Chain A
């Protein structure tokens, strides 16, 4: 990655974090994100109503089992997150989890997470695994619980409200020293899955690791993501959602919008700050402002997706 690109993504990350204190509304219109202050949007009730109907909520990086200084109570912050989602006045039909459900792939962590997810009023949960979910020697704990939707492949697609969702796995084929990998089989499956679909169908793609290179030295990217973008390019609205980096970074490229979600467990440093992407310890009063969820709505006229990032603060 060039320094220019790196600086740009870091500037974007800092900009988002600066906006993110009270929750940020990202209005996507004509391929351009417009950040809107949430407090101001809330005052304008008719305006808020025009912002579309809620389609789904994204939660990410719950890391159940983590207990270090950066957040000794990840169950507590997930509970707060679930309370925020349950309090949404209009409940979306589904929720997606972009991986790292558990911290160490241990059965008790997955069991705890599932028990907590059962408190959600939204009952339709779609998941993809993160690399923290696939560390058990036989790589079965995640799939035993969440593998059914994909016939244990990990990747699958479904339709909801006229939107086509594609769930992808980029944490199972790491190459030493490299980025995440989708692999030829999965790429061929995506191309076949999209073939014959109308270019006017809104597409939402989600996977754990970013599907564009944010910071290669920390593995914040997917090595063969360019091949994934080829069959997606003809679509008029493509939203790509990831987790993994525990902070918001976004990019718009043509009709494609890329967005990473906050974690519900702990923040990570901005790319390149420190030895690696370790849990970032911040003063206790700052932590809630760095954790949160993303909700995505469809704005019908003109048709576009709207993302709202809400923190626990």
Chain B
């Protein structure tokens, strides 16, 4: 799964990898319009992600503690996402979207939609 690869890479490299996948790189197994962020050890991994407009981003919680995904502008608010649950949001418009975990507000991340 792509998420396993992404998790071990620095954010910039992960973003680059996703850009290659989104551009239709032959090694790509994931559809170009979806991406995953894993929540583990009180961190979003990657904590920065670039996707194409129309992409759906899924946050998957792999911690023993619930987390949440809340847009700084109020665009989306997941509610509590418990262990092994996930939350998805479809980004239709280009822009930069900052989000935080409202249970642990030091956890922050950014989605760039191109």
Size range of the chain B interface in the assembly? 20 to 34
Residues of A in contact with B, size category: 20 to 34
Query: In the assembled complex, which residues on chain B have CB atoms less than 8 Å from the CB atom of A179?
Result: 105
Most chain A CB within 10 A, of B68, B103, B108, is at B103
Q: Of residues A104, A134, A219, A277, which shows the largest number of chain B Cβ atoms within 10 Å of its Cβ?
A: A104
Whether the Cβ atoms of A279 and B65 lie closer than 8 Å is yes
| A174 close to B (CB within 8 Å) | yes
* In the complex, chain A residues whose CB is within 8 Å of the CB of B65: 276-279
User: Which residue on B lies nearest to A279, using beta carbons?
Assistant: B64
Say if the beta carbon of B54 comes within 8 Å of chain A.
no
B106 contacts A178, C-beta separation under 8 Å: yes
Q: When chains A and B are docked, how far (Å) is the Cα of A275 from the Cα of B45?
A: 14
Binary per-residue interface labels of chain A (63-86) against chain B in the complex, 1 for a CB within 8 Å, 0 otherwise: 000001110000000000000000
- Interface contacts (Cβ under 8 Å), in number, total 71
- Closest-by-CB residue of B relative to A68 is B64
B104 within 8 A of A: yes
Collect the chain A residues with CB atoms within 8 Å of residue B103's CB: 131-132, 135
**Is B108 touching A132 in the complex (CB atoms < 8 A)?**
no
Chain B contact residues, majority secondary structure: loop
A262 at the interface (CB under 8 A from B): no
- Whether B42 and A275, one on each chain, are in contact in the complex, defined by CB atoms closer than 8 angstroms, is yes
Q: A103 contacts the other chain (Cβ, under 8 Å)?
A: yes
Interface string of A163-177 (1 = CB under 8 A from B): 000000000001111
CA distance A136 to B81 in the complex (A): 10
Scoring A residues 274 to 303 as 1 if CB is less than 8 Å from chain B, else 0, what string do you get?
011111000000000000000000000000
A residues neighboring B (CB under 8 Å): 68-70, 103-106, 131-132, 134-137, 174-179, 217-219, 275-279
Q: List 17 A-B contacts (CB under 8 A).
A: A68-B83, A70-B64, A103-B80, A104-B66, A106-B80, A131-B103, A132-B80, A135-B80, A137-B77, A175-B105, A176-B106, A177-B105, A177-B108, A275-B42, A275-B43, A276-B63, A279-B64
